Amino acid sequence: MPTDDTALAPEPPNPRIGRYVSTVAFDETVNAYVPPPLPPEPPLTLAPQLLQRLSEADRAIGRLDGVAMLLPDKALFLYMYVRKEAVLSSQIEGTQSTLDDLLQYENAALAGKPLDDITEVSSYVDAMMYGLSVLRDPKGLPLCLRLLRDMHARLLQKGRGEAKNPGEFRRSQNWLGGTRPGNAHYVPPPVNEMQTCLSDLERFLQDDSAQIPPLIKAGFLHVQFESIHPFLDGNGRLGRLLIALFLVEKKVLQEPLLYLSLYLKTHREQYYRLLQDVRLRGDWEVWTEFFLTGVAETANNAHESAMRIVGLFQADRERISASGEQINSMLRIHELLRTHPFLNAAQAQQKTGLSAPTVNKAFESLEKLEVVKEVTGKQRGRVFAYTEFLRILDGGTEVQEPRRQ
């Protein structure tokens, strides 16, 4: 029989839950959250359902990695998929740009002054490709705090974030949601605590002694980075980039083709709620199941897109080859459309060396075959779009929601 003292004894504190510290932000005293270091203690409970999700995610990743190796032009698929991810990840943060906007801006096929939204997405592409090049350079850096800062500098080099100390960890208190610190949804650790949290994060990032499966570890890293929120702006985008680059560094993927932004955009409310559940209750199991489900779903969708794109290119080449006219010039322009899905005649002339009459006749023939469609409606300065290719790429990038405040 328990004694009264035993019955009333308080439960021991949950070591998975961080602590709150009092800090001042904009003349308001608030409680800021300091997450405990990773990995979670006690360790993650690998229940049968979670193990099943891990197995499904591993299989989907393997299938995606396999098809990437078989693609006739994997650099092209990476080129386009990276841009789709840049659009989706930036949309989560409130930008209104679509993939078509970005491709038109990059290819300069349609005239117009670039908007902040588009330059921000373009900077995301730059940050992503820079991080990948550093990881692949034998003399480069591993995934570390310095590399994250360097990527952040590129992420915020243009647009609305350029005044938010690009490449520098914050030196002041920030907060998420609400109109001021006092009614914020979440207040990250103060600067002095943040430095310790970042050191712990880097140590966990580079330490494989715990032998945590890489996919589970990637999910841990993402949550911890989001909780620390070490920059004044760009934390969400960099936190999502961290997932793909970590999996490349650990050789789970040969190419960084796993990007969760569409999944997180689709399940946005659940995503933010689960981040908070980890902070408030230490509920890593539910978060990990959600994360692994997203990995499997995203990898399967990417695999399907890759196969559809390969099939489209092959089918269009066969239709062009069977058309009986302008075959060589049409094939050369079709090859160009794979990396420039918005294209005008001047660009086609410059990049192929074909004459203006030959290019114009080839575009007319491609339009008759319904491979391309003229999108300006003008007689001069016409721009042609590789419509079916864009339709495959555009899935999920349509802007349907208002900007987050």
Domain shared by 334 and 288, yes or no: no
Looking up tokens 């998420």 gives: 176
Predicted TM-score (pTM) of the model is: 0.85
Per-residue pLDDT, averaged over 244-261, amounts to: 89
For residue 336, being part of any structural domain is answered with yes
Measured distance between the N- and C-terminal CA atoms of the chain, rounded to whole angstroms: 56
The answer to whether 240 is annotated as binding is: yes
Question: Do the strands 342-344 and 383-385 form a parallel or antiparallel pair, or are they unpaired?
Answer: antiparallel
At residue 4, does pLDDT exceed 70?
no
Residue 115: which pLDDT band, with cuts at 50, 70 and 90? Answer: low
pLDDT at 225: 98
DSSP 192-230: HHHHHHHHHHHHHHH--TT---HHHHHHHHHHHHHHH--
- Separation CA 270–CA 290 (nearest Å): 9
Task: Output the domain CATH number for residue 123.
Answer: 1.10.3290.10
CB 275 within 8 A of CB 177: no
The answer to whether 236 is annotated as binding is: yes
For residue 14, being part of any structural domain is answered with no
At residue 398, does pLDDT exceed 70?
no
pLDDT at 405: 31
Residue 97: which pLDDT band, with cuts at 50, 70 and 90? Answer: low
Q: Which of 271, 305, 339 is the last residue of a domain?
A: 305
Instruction: Please list the active-site residues.
Output: 229
Identify the helix (H) or strand (E) that includes residue 79: helix 74-92
The answer to whether 174 is annotated as binding is: no
For residue 401, being part of any structural domain is answered with no
Domain shared by 330 and 383, yes or no: yes
113 secondary structure, DSSP code: P
Domain shared by 216 and 358, yes or no: no
Cα separations (Å) of 225 from 121, 200, 241, 303?
21, 11, 11, 28
Half-sphere exposure of 141 (CA within 13 A, CB side): 13
Residue 359: which pLDDT band, with cuts at 50, 70 and 90? Answer: very high
Domain shared by 288 and 334, yes or no: no
Domain shared by 257 and 142, yes or no: yes
- Separation CA 39–CA 36 (nearest Å): 9
Domain shared by 64 and 182, yes or no: yes
CB 234 within 8 A of CB 242: no
Overall domain count for the chain? 2
At residue 20, does pLDDT exceed 50?
yes
For residue 218, being part of any structural domain is answered with yes
Domain shared by 214 and 352, yes or no: no
The answer to whether 272 is annotated as binding is: yes
Domain shared by 105 and 247, yes or no: yes
Q: Which domain holds residue 340?
A: 325-393
Residue 71: which pLDDT band, with cuts at 50, 70 and 90? Answer: low
Kindly calculate the radius of gyration of the chain based on its CA atoms and give it in whole angstroms.
Answer: 24
9 secondary structure, DSSP code: P
Cis before residue 213, ω within 30 degrees of 0? no
The answer to whether 259 is annotated as binding is: no
Residue 326: which pLDDT band, with cuts at 50, 70 and 90? Answer: confident
Which is higher by pLDDT, 91 or 36?
36
Q: Cα 95 vs. chain centroid, distance in angstroms?
A: 14
75-84, 134-143, 173-182, 252-261: least confidently modelled range: 75-84
Instruction: Write the CB contacts of 131 (distance below 8 Å, at least 6 apart in sequence).
Output: 147, 150, 151, 241, 245
What mean pLDDT is reported for the chain?
A: 86
Select, from the ranges 288-292, 323-327, 376-380, the one with the highest average predicted confidence (pLDDT). Answer: 288-292
The answer to whether 235 is annotated as binding is: yes
The answer to whether 263 is annotated as binding is: no
Select, from the ranges 10-14, 47-51, 79-83, 256-260, the one with the highest average predicted confidence (pLDDT). Answer: 47-51
Give the torsion through C-alpha atoms of 258, 260, 261, 262, to 10 deg.
100
Contacts 24+ apart (CB under 8 A), 20-29: 21/189, 21/190, 21/193, 23/173, 23/187, 23/190, 24/173, 25/172, 25/173, 25/174, 25/175, 25/181, 25/187, 26/173, 26/180, 26/181, 28/180, 28/181, 28/182
At residue 169, does pLDDT exceed 50?
yes
Per-residue pLDDT, averaged over 118-124, amounts to: 74
CB 336 within 8 A of CB 345: no
Q: Which two tokens stand for residue 45?
A: 């409970």
The answer to whether 234 is annotated as binding is: yes
Domain shared by 340 and 284, yes or no: no
